[in-house]
Amino acid sequence: MNEDEINSIIEQTINGALMTVPNYLEEISQNKEVFHVENPKEFVFGIVMGMALGMSGAILSSQSEAPTVEDQIKVRDMIYKHIPDIRERIFS
């Protein structure tokens, strides 16, 4: 899988995760006594980042060869460049 394909999957994952933000915020609001979350938006930011990083791990492990540290760093950096947009879409 080339870098463009990986980036496309990462973007799809992030966009899909961001579509669920209102649902997560509502769920947290309705279940405050269960979640005990001080800042729901920060919590949801963590969920979105976890989804993106988890998907990237799955992508890397599905390749024929084990990913190198450099591959892992490259994919992580591809995700991290989306952080400002992710934060804006959650917090605005």
For 49-81, the pLDDT digits (tens) are 999 999 888 888 888 888 889 988 999 999 999
Dist. CA 19–CA 27, nearest whole Å = 14
- Is a pLDDT exceeding 90 seen at residue 6? no
- pTM for the predicted model, two decimal places: 0.88
Backbone angles phi, psi at 39, to 5 degrees: -130, 95
What's the angle, vertex CA 18, arms to CA 58 and CA 69, rounded to 5?
30
Domain ranges of the chain: 3-91
3-state SS assignment for residue 2: coil
pLDDT at 2: 83
10 close to 78: Cβ distance less than 8 angstroms: yes
Dist. CA 82–CA 90, nearest whole Å = 12
